[in-house]
Structure 1
Amino acid sequence: MTDIVVLGSTNMDLVTYVEKAPQRGETVTGREFRTIPGGKGANQAIAAARAGGDVSMIGAVGNDAFGTRLRSTLEHSGVDTDDLRTVEGPSGTAHIVVDDEGGNAIVVIPGANGTLDHLSPGDEGVIASADLLLLQLEIPLPAVVAGAQAARRHGVRTVLTPSPAQPLPDELLIAVDLLVPNEHEATTLTGRTDPREAAIGLLDLVPEVVVTLGAAGSLYVARGADPVTVPAPKVAPVDTTGAGDTFVGALAVARGEGRPMREALAWAAAAAALSVQREGASASMPYRPEIEARYAS
């Protein structure tokens, strides 16, 4: 079993479902509202645990009802929360509008995640014991850098999802093994709109890159190797929220198990395809038997 540590955010997703998302200054009537545990860190932790990884979460929740529910959801999915601290104040929230085509728009309020600006005593030991460290950018950058550097010191492979997209400091990039942006993030980081050109450009920064392409699948590039494109299964999306995190969590498990990259990408794509056919982020994430069945079909 792959030992995975996730250092990242936990949010309560406040999700509104509408026929068509409002434009600026416009008011529309929604058809449903739900509160769903999420956050890119927690999402990746849940996805990896359900895909068969042995997962621990380093993060922070508030001392509110959302924090209690976020912790419970992680634990119910098999994630170790011994290093998920509870702090004074509200938990993080994400305000999400999902339209009937499955698209979404998101505003994140950091809450407790904003206190996670450094590693606490014991965090480095947790990271050192892992096979893989998963990072995102919904917590303060100093903690992300510290986590990546701790992983590098102990020979732990690091996977970074550069979301929300922002300039990445050299001290972080030098400690990243695999960068997994979506098309928008790849363009933001490189200024190149073509995904293949953007991916190749990112190899100046890190040794391996996977650009997720939504319904078109994913593109993998590595220094000294030919690019690999892997298609995604054809499905009718209901809600794409959390699809990228599902992909990354499943990919981490597959790579930790030693699957070749092409197979690992296809397996992760099967997991993401299952997730977009259900509403919500963490609520939509599939378990390993489902992924195996979809991958084999």
Structure 2
Amino acid sequence: MPAKVVVIGSLNMDLVTRAPRLPRGGETLIGQSFATVSGGKGANQAVAAARLGAQVSMVGCVGSDAYGEALRGALLAEQIDCQAVSTVEDSSGVALIVVDDNSQNAIVIVAGANGALTPEVIDRFDAVLQAADVIICQLEVPDATVGHALKRGRELGKTVILNPAPASRPLPADWYAAIDYLIPNESEASALSGLPVDTLSTAETAAARLIAMGAGKVIITLGSQGSLFADGKRFEHFPAPKVKAVDTTAAGDTFVGGFAAALAAGKSEADAIRFGQVAAALSVTRAGAQPSIPTLPDVQAFKAP
């Protein structure tokens, strides 16, 4: 049987515009294209884990609107178990995304139904968590829910991953002891540690502080510079595969989902990181969030240029 990954988090409909560059404050730009694409960090990571070999269950909330039906349908199309995806009387979450000609993006999120994912909802689907090998959380649902899910995962003895995205402030101190793998990007690592993260050396310093704060292990994703792994005893830098980027949306989610799927399948940490990096590299060569996420055969066939 495939390893079981449970993702607790957000489902958003991404409203994506491409423009020559990101707008400045007060400026109106003429866009080049527009699309609606299923997304949300939770759902993206669930799709990534499923396409990359895991058996996946999603825990989250959607609204009683057309977006909610589409978001659920997108997960079901990936053979993701949606018994714990609840429909609530609210609008579904949305993300307003602008992508420029350099493949950089700016994103505004409206939580909508994601705000209804409470600790009580997590408890209602405790059997789903009990069946997991790996549990993944992010920060696009209420903090109380994330903290509850992390601690419940620890109580159950599961491998617990937190992708602290989006993060603009330190995490609650009592969360760290429940986290096996903390996976921030550079800006998130800076927000959590209170330190600048703009070089490999400063990433090491921030990772060391996060471990001192109680995280089990830390993986800081560094975009085109790869990833930094730290476990309190050593640091290891994993260079990124070289590809031509088209759209970086969901690259981080693809890495997290791929890393979780590989780890749950029994790969070593190093191999799981490399696997996640190849998946993320492939995702940036395609446009969109979930449409850009590669499959297991895609990753297995990848050859660096």
Q: Flag whether TM exceeds 0.5 (same fold).
A: yes
Instruction: Report the AA paired with residue 266 of structure 1.
Output: R
Name the SS for the 1:84 alignment partner: strand
Q: 2:57 aligns to what SS in structure 1? A: strand
**Percent same amino acid among aligned pairs?**
45
Matched-pair contact (CA < 8 Å) for 2:241–2:304: no
Contact 1:270–1:291 at 8 Å: present in 2 too? yes
Tell me which stretches of 4 or more aligned residues in structure 1 moved more than 6 Å.
none
- SS in structure 1 opposite 2:247? coil
Distance, in Å, in 2 between the alignment partners of 1:78 and 1:229 is 34
Residue 62 of structure 1 is matched in structure 2 by 63
Tell me the equivalent position of 2:229. 220
1:189 matched to 2:192 = yes
Instruction: Provide, for residues 74-125 of structure 1, a one-character-per-residue CA deviation record: whole Å limited to 9, x for no partner.
Output: 1111211011000012000000000011100000000000111223243222
Aligned to 2:282: 274
Q: Distance in 2 between matches of 1:155 and 1:128?
A: 9
Using the size of structure 1 for normalisation, the TM-score is: 0.97
- Per the TM alignment, residue 295 of structure 1 is displaced from its structure 2 partner at its CA by 5.9
**Correspondence for 1:131:** 133
- From 278, 289, 298, give the equivalent of 1:290: 298
Give, in angstroms, the shift of residue 135 of structure 1: 0.2
Count residues with an aligned counterpart. Answer: 296
CA contact (8 A) 1:128 1:150 kept: no
Counterpart-to-counterpart distance in 1, 2:45 and 2:57: 11
**Aligned residue in 1 for 2:243:** 235
2-side partners of 1:240 and 1:206: how far apart?
Answer: 27
Instruction: State which of 151, 167, 176 in structure 1 corresponds to 2:179.
Output: 176
C-alpha separation between the residues in 2 aligned to 1:27 and 1:141?
A: 34
The answer to whether the 8 A contact 1:119-1:146 is kept is no
Report deviation, 1:296: 7.8
Q: Which moved more, 1:131-140 or 1:22-31?
A: 22-31
| Distance (whole Å) between structure 2 residues aligned to residue 84 and residue 277 of structure 1 | 30
Q: Please, what is the CA RMSD of the aligned residues?
A: 1.2
C-alpha separation in 1, matches of 2:47 and 2:243? 22
* 5+ long unaligned stretches in structure 2: 197-201
Q: Which residue in 2 is equivalent to 1:122?
A: 124
The residue type equivalent to 1:90 in the other structure is: S
Tell me the secondary structure at the aligned position of residue 23 of structure 2: coil
Structure 1 window deviating more from structure 2 (121-130 vs 141-150): it is: 121-130
